[in-house]
Chain A
Amino acid sequence: MHPALQGLITIIIGVGGCLGYFYFSNQILDKVIFPPKKNDAGRNINRANAVRPWLFLLPAIIALGLYLAYPVFSTLWLSLTDRSQDNAFVGLANYNQMFNEPKFWEAMVNNMLWLIVVPAVSTAFGLLSAQLTDRIAWGNIAKSIIFMPMAISFVGAAVIFKLIYDARPVDQAQIGVLNAVWLQFEGGTGSFLFLKLLPGIIVLSFAGIVSYIGWLTLKPLLPGETNQGGGLMAIARLIAVVITAYIIVRSLLLAVGIMSSSLPYGEPQQWLTLPFWNNFFLMIVLIWIQTGFAMVILSAALRGIPEETVEAAIVDGANPFQVFFGIKVPQITGTIVVVWTTITLVVLKIFDIVFAMTNGQWETQVLANYMFDKLFRANDWGVGSASAIIIMLLVSPILIWNVYNARKEMQ
């Protein structure tokens, strides 16, 4: 049979079965179980209506329960058992084993790096492009183009960027654009400006922003300020401050490293095999994909800002940058948080890009790929499930926050 025909038949059976369930189950309910007969029509209709919600919900509840809720517990259980010992309960042995593997910690550190860089850069670029495209006549075309990578698969994007990162021996023409550009640098002032000063400034300003956030977090704890939220909040703030301090120190060191490094000019580079830096080359792929999402949402939020507040600021003498950072950005912080968390969720689950481009080699491992490796290559379900539970733990703060907000909204 032609694959197209075969596909068509399977499709019809699958979709038809689903539609059939809803139609016939309702028919049976109304005509057979509670038929609206003469004397108790009203009662039977009411009884049928009490059952109907569950009829409507049944497939969804089954699918959600079976495919999302049950696996959470099942995976938790698997992570506590050992398959090679006949699924015996082994307590935290799998976790122990995992924590002793350097590859796991590599994946953890890399994932944290992804978590910091990708949401921040995507949101920043999204904000920038939203602001730029909202002000020009051909903005919608520009938006379409920046948004377009959204439709491209991670695998497709991996191919696209592999072409960009391609390297050839030095005596051949470079077909990867990054190496072609790289070979233009020879160590002169241009090289210094673009490869040392500019990245250094970017890293330093990142450190600056982080310190500002850290300062805002710390401020309520200082003597003389009122600390709302009690002890738990104070502890959370302290932890956040420690983390930001760590990030600041790391980025300062990074900046120094960039400035003082001696770069191998004139040699084509295998970008994806440069330890540490290759993580960033992978992240660029995701940033390229996610920026459009951030832009679309932030642009809608920016357009939702009451025009009067902006006009009032202009009348008060604010320049465009002051208007943007002082008036507009504060009014869309809620949306920025939403965008940030959404991208964070994507990052936590990132798999395809790493899988297709490096498969975790050259110190680019991330959690999801580590897990896939354990599950399907090493066939170690225990450790694989344990790493899946780690991913679950990382998303659960967002889960709790979302549910809390949803419940608040329904009141």
Chain B
Amino acid sequence: MADIKLTDVNKIYGGKVHVLKDINLDIEKGELIVFVGPSGCGKSTLLRMIAGLETITSGRLEIDHEHVNDVPPAQRGIAMVFQSYALYPHMTVRENMSFALKLAKKSPQEITESVDRAARILQLEPFLDRLPKALSGGQRQRVAIGRSIVRDPKVYLFDEPLSNLDAALRVATRIEIAQLKEQMPDSTMIYVTHDQVEAMTLADRIVVLTVGEGIGQVGNPLQLYERPENEFVAQFIGSPAMNLLPGKIIATGKQTTVRIAGGGVAVSDAPSKSSDENLKVNVGVRPEDFSETKGDYIFEGEVDIVEALGEVTQLYFKAQKGGDPIIGKLAGIHSGLRGETVRLTAEPNKVQVFHEGKSLYYR
């Protein structure tokens, strides 16, 4: 129901710690945006700044075309779900859910209606008269979500809402959130998470935050996966991380050919100019995009460790000098490769080329 616009937003703690730098972001009405990034990069800080719980050092924040930098949280039309649920321990579920409405002086009838509706959506009806301590983690999480639903806010803010749940419950609740979003197509949601699967499955767009360098990339999940703008995003999205192989451009044009230091040749669909010849670049290939070959190869090496996961087999190659070990992920079972020399290659449109950290696809 609202669009959010951040213009040159900065956050500096105590005059020294520059946590968020020049954040520019447009969030459209009805979108589900996910913030990801390494721990300590300022995801929570950004979310709390949108909520009004943290002051904005400089820059401008608009919600619904209204400048809200100095508007207190309650007046911003937002609701927030905390990682720790933040349920009021001395209030029953019903009281927890009606607290905000009571403060807003809604009529008792109205309050009961909203709470009952939210409880029905989230299947919380049996627990309405219990105290939070008598609920399981998943139920508490649903109460926290229910508490935000009853307020019917313009924007929902979630800060790692599922990270305290066990794996199975996390999947179930994630699906619930996705369904919730479908039921409320007009509400804007901002969701902070560590979990890539959550990010990829839930997000309309993902915002990757870097440590102290502002936004790494904004885009829909597959775009981020297939065409990362820079090495940071490339390595952050996907697990295991994308392999980076240093090399030198030897042919330019619609496709770019790179000779990898100490071995093979990589061909990428990334375009390049003739002046790029001999440019030092890094070639990026995701482990799952590698396939075994007998012919031309991008990488050749001796297999150090084999992890057979059944569905796939992960091959770890001896680390090149100073670098991370190269990892390949082959479908199916490949036993007996340990100690063998294996050649790997990849399709040109799956090969990224980075110059000074930036992808050639985006020049």
Q: Measuring CB to CB, which residues of chain A are less than 8 angstroms from any residue of chain B?
A: 41-43, 45-46, 49
CA distance A43 to B67 in the complex (A): 12
Cross-chain contact A49 with B70 (CB below 8 angstroms): no
Please, which residues of chain A bring their CB within 8 A of the CB of B71? 41-42
B72 at the interface (CB under 8 A from A): yes
Closest beta carbon of chain A to B70's beta carbon, Å: 5
Please, which residues of chain A bring their CB within 8 A of the CB of B72? 42, 45-46, 49
B306 at the interface (CB under 8 A from A): no
B23 at the interface (CB under 8 A from A): no
CA distance A313 to B165 in the complex (A): 40
Please, which residues of chain A bring their CB within 8 A of the CB of B250? none
Pairs across A and B, CB under 8 Å, 13 listed: A41-B71, A41-B75, A42-B68, A42-B70, A42-B71, A42-B72, A42-B75, A43-B70, A45-B72, A45-B75, A46-B70, A46-B72, A49-B72
Residue of B nearest to A48 (CB): B72
Contact with A along B62-74 (1 / 0, CB 8 A): 0000001011100
Residue of B nearest to A45 (CB): B72
Please, which residues of chain A bring their CB within 8 A of the CB of B68? 42
CA distance A179 to B72 in the complex (A): 74
Please, which residues of chain B bring their CB within 8 A of the CB of A43? 70
Closest beta carbon of chain B to A26's beta carbon, Å: 15
Closest beta carbon of chain B to A47's beta carbon, Å: 10
CA distance A49 to B71 in the complex (A): 12
Closest beta carbon of chain A to B49's beta carbon, Å: 15
Known: A43-B70, A49-B72. 10 other contacts (CB 8 A): A41-B71, A41-B75, A42-B68, A42-B70, A42-B71, A42-B75, A45-B72, A45-B75, A46-B70, A46-B72
Please, which residues of chain A bring their CB within 8 A of the CB of B70? 42-43, 46
Q: Which 6 pairs from chain A and chain B are nearest by CB?
A: A42-B71, A42-B70, A45-B72, A46-B70, A43-B70, A42-B75
Of the listed residues A42, A45, A46, the one surrounded by the most CB atoms of chain B closer than 10 A to its CB is A42
Closest beta carbon of chain B to A91's beta carbon, Å: 48
Interface residues of B in 66-116 (CB under 8 A from A): 68, 70-72, 75
Residue of A nearest to B74 (CB): A45
CA distance A109 to B348 in the complex (A): 94
CA distance A45 to B68 in the complex (A): 13
Please, which residues of chain B bring their CB within 8 A of the CB of A42? 68, 70-72, 75
Closest beta carbon of chain B to A243's beta carbon, Å: 45
CA distance A45 to B74 in the complex (A): 11
Closest beta carbon of chain B to A51's beta carbon, Å: 14
Residue of B nearest to A40 (CB): B70
Please, which residues of chain B bring their CB within 8 A of the CB of A45? 72, 75
Residue of A nearest to B68 (CB): A42
Contact with A along B288-302 (1 / 0, CB 8 A): 000000000000000
CA distance A49 to B72 in the complex (A): 10
Residue of B nearest to A46 (CB): B70
CA distance A46 to B75 in the complex (A): 12
Please, which residues of chain A bring their CB within 8 A of the CB of B75? 41-42, 45
CA distance A176 to B72 in the complex (A): 71
CA distance A35 to B68 in the complex (A): 18
CA distance A42 to B72 in the complex (A): 6
CA distance A41 to B68 in the complex (A): 11
CA distance A41 to B75 in the complex (A): 9
CA distance A45 to B52 in the complex (A): 13
CA distance A43 to B68 in the complex (A): 10
Residue of A nearest to B70 (CB): A42
Please, which residues of chain B bring their CB within 8 A of the CB of A49? 72
Closest beta carbon of chain A to B250's beta carbon, Å: 57
Closest beta carbon of chain A to B321's beta carbon, Å: 44
Please, which residues of chain B bring their CB within 8 A of the CB of A46? 70, 72
CA distance A42 to B75 in the complex (A): 8
Residue of B nearest to A43 (CB): B70
CA distance A49 to B53 in the complex (A): 13
Residue of A nearest to B72 (CB): A45
Closest beta carbon of chain A to B65's beta carbon, Å: 15
CA distance A45 to B70 in the complex (A): 9
Please, which residues of chain B bring their CB within 8 A of the CB of A41? 71, 75
CA distance A43 to B72 in the complex (A): 9
CA distance A229 to B321 in the complex (A): 49
CA distance A41 to B71 in the complex (A): 8
Residue of A nearest to B67 (CB): A42
CA distance A43 to B71 in the complex (A): 7
Closest beta carbon of chain B to A40's beta carbon, Å: 10
Residue of B nearest to A41 (CB): B75
Closest beta carbon of chain B to A116's beta carbon, Å: 47
CA distance A41 to B72 in the complex (A): 9
Closest beta carbon of chain A to B13's beta carbon, Å: 15
Closest beta carbon of chain B to A241's beta carbon, Å: 45
CA distance A42 to B70 in the complex (A): 6
CA distance A45 to B72 in the complex (A): 7
CA distance A97 to B70 in the complex (A): 64
CA distance A46 to B70 in the complex (A): 7
CA distance A167 to B238 in the complex (A): 90
Closest beta carbon of chain A to B51's beta carbon, Å: 14
Closest beta carbon of chain A to B200's beta carbon, Å: 37
Closest beta carbon of chain A to B56's beta carbon, Å: 13
CA distance A46 to B68 in the complex (A): 12
CA distance A73 to B68 in the complex (A): 49
Interface residues of B in 231-264 (CB under 8 A from A): none
CA distance A51 to B70 in the complex (A): 16
Closest beta carbon of chain A to B78's beta carbon, Å: 14
Closest beta carbon of chain B to A266's beta carbon, Å: 67
Residue of A nearest to B66 (CB): A42
CA distance A43 to B70 in the complex (A): 7
CA distance A42 to B68 in the complex (A): 8
Closest beta carbon of chain A to B69's beta carbon, Å: 9
Closest beta carbon of chain B to A227's beta carbon, Å: 37
Closest beta carbon of chain B to A45's beta carbon, Å: 5
CA distance A388 to B71 in the complex (A): 53
CA distance A42 to B61 in the complex (A): 14
CA distance A344 to B131 in the complex (A): 45
CA distance A353 to B75 in the complex (A): 60
CA distance A49 to B75 in the complex (A): 14
Closest beta carbon of chain A to B346's beta carbon, Å: 53
CA distance A185 to B70 in the complex (A): 84
Closest beta carbon of chain A to B63's beta carbon, Å: 12
Of the listed residues B68, B72, B75, the one surrounded by the most CB atoms of chain A closer than 10 A to its CB is B72
Closest beta carbon of chain A to B335's beta carbon, Å: 44
Residue of B nearest to A36 (CB): B75
Residue of A nearest to B71 (CB): A42
CA distance A46 to B72 in the complex (A): 7
Closest beta carbon of chain A to B254's beta carbon, Å: 54
CA distance A42 to B74 in the complex (A): 10
Interface residues of B in 5-41 (CB under 8 A from A): none
Closest beta carbon of chain A to B140's beta carbon, Å: 30
